[in-house]
Chains A and B, each alone.
Chain A
Amino acid sequence: MWKEFTKGLFRENPIFVIVLGLCPTLGVSSRVINALGMGAGVIFVLLCSNIFISLLKNFIPNQVRIPSYIVIIASFVTVVQMVMQAFLPDLYDSLGVFVPLIVVNCIILGRAEAFASKNGVGASILDALGMGIGFTLALTVISLVREVFGSGTITLFAFGDFDGVVRIPGIVDSPARVFVLAAGALLVMGYLKALVGIIQEKGGKG
């Protein structure tokens, strides 16, 4: 059971290893808080859709399974949209079109088809949590690299006197803006993927 959870974190990490769900990954990773918000949204949708699909797997006819999965996923995405708009309007605005686009995130449909439709509820929950957290981890790593080098800050949640922005001395005055731009996202992703490849190969040999 335990390995259903841990496989998503590293060995089958959805972003770095399977390379799925790229659009939101690069689109929202210019600030750490966006990455965390996106991650939370994806974990929620993935968890709910995996639970529902594994419960309903014996009732959904095989021919219409993909449309059914899409409807289930889209309903939960709408929930996320409405909750985020009501309680975190700033985050909702900065994620923009990428919130409704969770619906076409290949990770979610991929897990529904490859895992939840064939396994029990317990295993599907662990799979969803593992994949969701793995996605969030990868997203956070990418956004940390981009925000630290591109803006010299780390934006987190604001509470009390703390405005939520950690400024890194030395970089904040003259950041390398390219990291925040579209080109930087693709370059960072390429180098990180290569790094993951090296780590995998080392792990495979040892």
Chain B
Amino acid sequence: MSYLGIIITFVFINNFILTQFLGLCPFIGVSKNLESAVGMGFAVTFVMALASFATWAIYHLILVPLNIEFLQTITFILVIASLVQFVEMVIQKISPPLYKALGIFLPLITTNCAVMGIALIAVQNKYNALESFVAGIAAGLGFLLAIVLMSTIREKLDNEWIPKPFRGVPIAFITGGLMALAFMAFDKALLNNLLG
């Protein structure tokens, strides 16, 4: 599949949040205002791009030659956890303002299913190194798109009257459901029409 195809697939057709249910916890938890949603979105995109590349390297250069693919789950989660820690330290050192903006989101990313998800899916789809990296960025951008849309909708919803039992999390789920309905418009046909 071409790189453009991978990007369109992961941003729209297989949007991680709205069609695959990966990364729902931050989608519901960190989408109350636009500012934190943007911060979380970029932090996730950044980590996903690095993680999908790093896990590709570990899987194909260490696990496969040694014939220990069954250790995939353990190694991937360790790679992701240390990567997140590393990224946190580097950002803190290089750019304190960026650290201030993204800092609080980084520890949360370790247990974000989306990061682990892209690592597993990239291996499952037998992507090469560059394809894994592109898929990581694209899936991250899909996450960013969904969480930013969600946060702006929720900011508007704050000014509306909502029946009491639906306030907070329930209405967020229903909003997400309606967004998912809209995203159903993006399907395989879109890919075929665009790329022939």
Contact = CB atoms under 8 A, between A and B. Distances in A.
A132 to B, nearest CB: 18
Interface residues of B, number: 46
Interface in B163-180: 163-166, 169-174, 176-178, 180
Contact of B120 (A67, A101, A184): A101
Contacts of B116: 100-101, 103-104
Contacts of A189: 173, 177
Nearest to A73: B77
- The secondary structure that dominates the B interface is helix
B104 to A, nearest CB: 16
Given A97-B124, A103-B116, A187-B173, A74 B74 contact: yes
Given A104-B112, A190-B177, A193-B169, A97 B77 contact: no
A190 B39 CA distance: 25
A-side interface size class: 35 or more
A183 B81 contact: no
B165 A183 contact: no
B121 interface: yes
- The secondary structure that dominates the A interface is helix
Top 6 A-B residue pairs of the complex, sorted by shortest distance between their CB atoms: A190-B173, A186-B177, A187-B177, A190-B174, A183-B180, A194-B170
Interface of A: 19-20, 22-27, 66-67, 70-71, 74-75, 77-78, 81-82, 97, 100-101, 103-106, 109, 178, 181-187, 189-191, 193-195, 197-198, 201
